[in-house]
């Protein structure tokens, strides 16, 4: 975590401690105010040096409702902590936090739940059908967690350094390119599944031969999936389509 070395206002040790606490953002989840307790728990180390009166006032203010994507909540806590340290107006801080909960939640859902996770699952399915069962378990975990942990660190570092200017940092990131790459990965994985089901008849890399028709069908599937991805079809939808196709193909095998 050497990247989380804070600024003049927030020490590196406080930033690292708060970052680790952000992994427990949902440990105090409740039906009334959602993630507010986890948000406070992550925020407390960033208030190091504040007077007891100021700390009490800040904590009471942030007991209000809070809910966003759990992977993005730490970055928002970091930005709020930076703003509190800078002595910005209470109304400004509250407005910033409330206005960012929804967009951060939508960004996290789209990137992690609807794109990265189904692609990781598809990679695991392809490896499992190839008989690489250990890799089928490890590869999705590595693919998913390397990117999601990097995103946590990168966005958190932005919140610590830039406060409310974190929005500019997030806005400048090419999330559309990432989603397009994930969509292409999903399309390739689906094409491999198609070849497996209709081409070999004996499992992926099995004894069957890959005939021209099955390879052509795979190319068509890649093309259609790529076009669908470019037009906004999410990888999770491609995953459901692949699962439905595989089920139909399996039922049709004598």
When mean pLDDT is compared over 36-45, 49-58, 200-209, the highest value belongs to 36-45
Q: What is the pLDDT of residue 1?
A: 35
The number of CA neighbours under 13 Å toward the Cβ of 153 is 12
Q: What is the pLDDT of residue 207?
A: 45
Q: What is the pLDDT of residue 73?
A: 93
Of the listed ranges 58-67, 181-190, 200-209, the least confidently predicted one is: 200-209
- DSSP letter for each residue of 57-124: HHHHHTTS-B---HHHHHHHHHHHHHHHHTT--HHHHHHHHHHHHHHHHHHHIIIIIIIIHHHHHHHH
Residue 3: inside a domain: no
Q: What percent of the chain has pLDDT over 70?
A: 67
Is the same domain home to 188 and 140? no
End-to-end CA distance of the chain: 55
Residue 1: inside a domain: no
Structural domain of 215: 176-252
Tens digits of per-residue pLDDT, 81-94?
Answer: 999 988 899 999 99
Residue 4: inside a domain: no
Count: domains in the chain:
2
Three-state secondary-structure class, residue 51: coil
Is the same domain home to 180 and 160? no
Is the same domain home to 144 and 69? yes
Residue 58: inside a domain: yes
Is the same domain home to 168 and 188? no
Q: What percent of the chain has pLDDT over 90?
A: 35
> What is the rounded distance in angstroms from the CA atom of residue 194 to the CA atom of residue 229?
18
Is the same domain home to 123 and 142? yes
Residue 7: inside a domain: no
Is the same domain home to 129 and 55? yes
Is the same domain home to 157 and 184? no
Q: Given its phi and psi angles, is residue 82 left (phi above 0), alpha (psi -120 to 50 degrees) or beta? A: alpha
Tens digits of per-residue pLDDT, 94-120?
Answer: 999 999 999 999 888 888 888 888 888
User: Tokens 């009490």 sit at which residue?
Assistant: 56
Residue 243: inside a domain: yes
Q: Which of 214, 219, 218 is nearest to 200 (CA)?
A: 214
> What is the rounded distance in angstroms from the CA atom of residue 225 to the CA atom of residue 182?
11
> What are residue 172's phi and psi, to 5 degrees?
-80, -5
Residue 115: inside a domain: yes
Three-state secondary-structure class, residue 5: coil
Q: Decide if 190 contacts 242 (C-beta within 8 A).
A: yes
Is the same domain home to 22 and 126? yes
Q: What is the pLDDT of residue 252?
A: 55
Prediction pTM value: 0.73
Q: What is the pLDDT of residue 216?
A: 63
Is the same domain home to 59 and 162? yes
Domain end residue (candidates: 141, 173, 205):
173
> What is the rounded distance in angstroms from the CA atom of residue 212 to the CA atom of residue 6?
58
- For residue 228, pLDDT over 90 is answered with no
User: Tokens 């003049």 sit at which residue?
Assistant: 8
Three-state secondary-structure class, residue 206: coil
Q: What is the pLDDT of residue 4?
A: 43
Is the same domain home to 37 and 154? yes
């Amino acid at each position: 975590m050497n990247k989380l070395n804070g600024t003049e206002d927030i020490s590196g040790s406080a930033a690292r401690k708060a970052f680790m606490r952000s992994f427990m953002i949902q440990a105090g989840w409740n039906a009334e105010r959602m993630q507010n307790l986890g948000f406070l728990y992550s925020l407390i180390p960033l208030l190091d040096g504040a007077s007891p009166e100021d700390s009490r006032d800040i904590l009471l203010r942030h007991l209000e409702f809070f809910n966003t994507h759990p992977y993005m909540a730490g970055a928002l806590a970091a930005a709020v902590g930076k703003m509190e340290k800078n002595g910005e107006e209470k109304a400004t801080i509250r407005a910033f936090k409330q206005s960012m909960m929804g967009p951060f939640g939508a960004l996290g859902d789209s990137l992690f739940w609807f794109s990265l996770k189904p692609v990781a699952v598809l990679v695991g399915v392809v490896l499992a059908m190839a008989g690489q069962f250990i890799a089928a378990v490890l590869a999705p975990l590595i693919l998913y967690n390397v990117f999601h942990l990097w995103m946590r660190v990168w966005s958190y570092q932005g919140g610590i350094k830039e406060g409310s200017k974190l929005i500019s940092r997030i806005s400048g990131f090419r999330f559309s390119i990432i989603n397009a790459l994930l969509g292409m990965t999903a399309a390739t994985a689906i094409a491999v599944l198609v070849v497996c089901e209709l081409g070999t008849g004996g499992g992926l890399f099995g004894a069957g031969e890959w005939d021209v028709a099955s390879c052509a069908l795979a190319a068509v599937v890649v093309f259609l999936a790529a076009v669908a991805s470019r037009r906004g079809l999410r990888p999770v939808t491609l995953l459901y389509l692949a699962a439905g196709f595989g089920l139909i193909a399996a039922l049709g095998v004598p």
